[in-house]
Amino acid sequence: MDLNHIRADYSIPSTYFELHGLVHRTFSGRDGIPLQNIDTGLLVVVEEGEGTLDCNGSEHTLHYGVPYAVNPGHTVKITANDDTVLSLWLIAFSPHGPTGSSLEPLMETREQSVPDYRSILQKIKAIEKRRHALATKEQIVVHSQFQKLIGMIAEETSDLEQDTASHNTKANVLEIIAQLQRRYAEEITVDELAAQARISKRRFTHWFRQLTGTNLSGYMTTLRMEHAKRMLLRGERMKEVAALVGYGDEFYFNRRFKQMEGVSPGQFILNHRKKPINICAMSCLGHLLALGIRPAAVAKNLSNDHYLRKLSADIHKVNSVPLDPQEIAYLQPEFILVGSQEEYDALSTIAPTQIFSQNDHKPFELLRKLAETFGKGPEAERVIRSYNRKVQRLRSKLNGIVQSTDTFATMEIRDDSIYVFGNYWCRGAYNLYDGLGLQAPDIIQKELIDRQAYRLITEEQIPSYAGNHLFVTVVDPERYERLCSMSWWQEMSAAKQNQVYITDYSEFAVTDPISMPYQLDIQMKLLLERKNLLNQKLFSS
């Protein structure tokens, strides 16, 4: 065998890729590369973030997962998106044939599809690490790695061109998007849709974002919420709407709706009503009346309140203890206000229902929350301003009467329990602490103020919480009399200084914007009368 004739019997034209330059750049806040003409092939490979590539006047999205190839003679401009840092690699190269002459471009100017984007980045970093090597062996390694890098992209591009010749990718994805308009309630995956479009998952994700501006999850959620809004305005029940748009869990549907729309489903309904709505109030009657809202039905225990009884005389009364869902369903309410999760669970299948808990919100926080729901913001602010003007006047009357070291507590004595209150809704405590600005005992400040509405305590704990001014709502007079006879009670600072003030349960049962000003008057009267009595005793002695 003549070894000199091997090349005559078998030869493969040698094609290689020459690396002209490789750089890594990072841009942010609309920074980038100004418009310029390139005279070599260019690969743009994003490592992090998103940006825009302007190529011959056409804009293309740059993002992780899809390299972009540009052929010689094109104009190029690269810009980072406003809200991201764009980190990318720029690779200048050209292909050469057996004689060293340039070949026709192997890659079309466009996004390229690659099977393993992470491997592409790893090869680029390996080339960058070694490309300044002087040793011949190292240079051969760099050359080999670069040929593999371009080969990976060129091979996939060839497959992509065959795919494009038989299927219009963009048209396929557009058809799938149109189908999703009808399939919004289904559980659909990117893998399923990519297979339907007969393209890779990565390429489908890219095209989907290009055509919709979001990912599959965001697009499906938007579709579901648009259909949900139409159903809610038609009067469909919340639970039914959740199921119809693909959410088996009503509570999860509520959370997602609020995340997307900024308001709960119930608030959405109220905001779009054109006529007065039929409301059943199981909580917050005084708040509603203060806003000028008259519910069609109200819990009996609320309407019996001392300050709200006359104002709610003509409102239909329903039982709250025991709660009877059938009684409320018969009234066909369009919206239900409840004060607890238990009430929500019992009534939410009847009509849109929302929890407004006085245990979780201070009186005026709750008023603003209701005002937002019913579009009564100006009314709420007028009520709050009126209250603030009143407490400012009353504070001035306490100058010289209440000392900076004085502490105030509010308790309730029942036959089976004793409660101490924080600065939420209970028994006039908000008036003392947030309204008049009086000081709580350290233990109440630490455990209750701005934390919880009330706490159950034992008889033995009363002196620890009492302070030197104690407001007591007496529900069980016999127990209260027994406590007053105890030696430890008589040794309390509040008792010794005759600064225990009795409040009537009927007048202090609830705290709302209508009742609070009246309760303030009573509390101020008790403080001033007790102080006047002490002054008279001092004067007579």
End-to-end CA distance of the chain: 139
Sheet holding 50-55, edge to edge: 32-37, 75-80, 50-55, 58-63
Q: Which residues contact 134 (CB under 8 A, 6 or more apart)?
A: none
- 186 three-state secondary structure: coil
Rounded Cα–Cα distance for residues 100 and 232 (Å): 71
Cβ atoms of 40 and 83 closer than 8 Å: no
Residue ranges of domains in the chain, CATH in brackets: 16-155 (2.60.120.280), 164-273 (1.10.10.60), 279-357 (3.40.50.1980), 393-537 (3.40.50.1980)
pLDDT of residue 461: 94
Query: What string of pLDDT tens digits covers the 541 residues of the chain?
Result: 455 555 555 555 567 788 888 889 998 877 889 999 998 888 898 888 888 888 888 877 787 777 888 888 889 999 888 767 888 989 998 877 665 444 444 445 555 655 567 788 888 888 888 877 777 777 788 788 888 888 777 654 444 444 443 346 778 888 898 888 888 889 899 889 988 888 878 778 888 888 888 889 888 998 999 889 888 877 778 888 889 999 988 888 988 898 888 888 887 887 776 566 789 999 999 999 999 999 999 998 888 788 898 888 889 999 888 888 999 999 889 889 999 899 998 998 888 888 998 888 899 999 999 988 888 889 999 999 999 999 999 988 888 788 889 999 999 999 999 999 999 878 999 999 999 999 999 999 999 999 889 999 999 999 999 989 999 999 999 999 999 999 999 999 999 989 999 999 989 988 899 999 999 999 999 988 876 655 555 445 4
The reported pTM is 0.54
DSSP secondary structure letters along 72-99:
TT-EEEEEE-TTSEEEEEEEEEEEE-TT
Which long-range contacts does 229-235 make (Cβ < 8 Å, 24+ apart)? 229/261, 229/268, 232/265, 232/268, 232/269, 232/352, 233/269, 233/272
Tokens representing 342 are: 């238990």
Torsion, Cα of 499, 505, 509, 515 (10° steps): -70
CB-based contacts of 93: which residues, under 8 Å, 6+ apart? 17, 18, 19, 20, 40, 41, 42, 43, 146, 150
Classify strands 353-355 and 335-338 as parallel, antiparallel or unpaired.
parallel
- In this structure, the dihedral spanned by the alpha carbons of residues 532, 534, 538 and 541, taken in order and rounded to 10 degrees, is 110
| DSSP annotation string for 433-480 | IIIS-PPPPHHHHHHTTTT-SEEEE-GGGHHHH--SEEEEEES-HHHH
At what angle are helices 363-374 and 377-397 packed, to 10 degrees?
A: 160
Give the per-residue pLDDT at 164. Answer: 44
Which of 537, 468, 454, 532 is closest to 499 using CA atoms? 468
Q: Which residues of 47-69 are buried (b: 16+ CB within 10 A; e: fewer)?
A: eebbbbbbbeeeebbbbbbbbbb
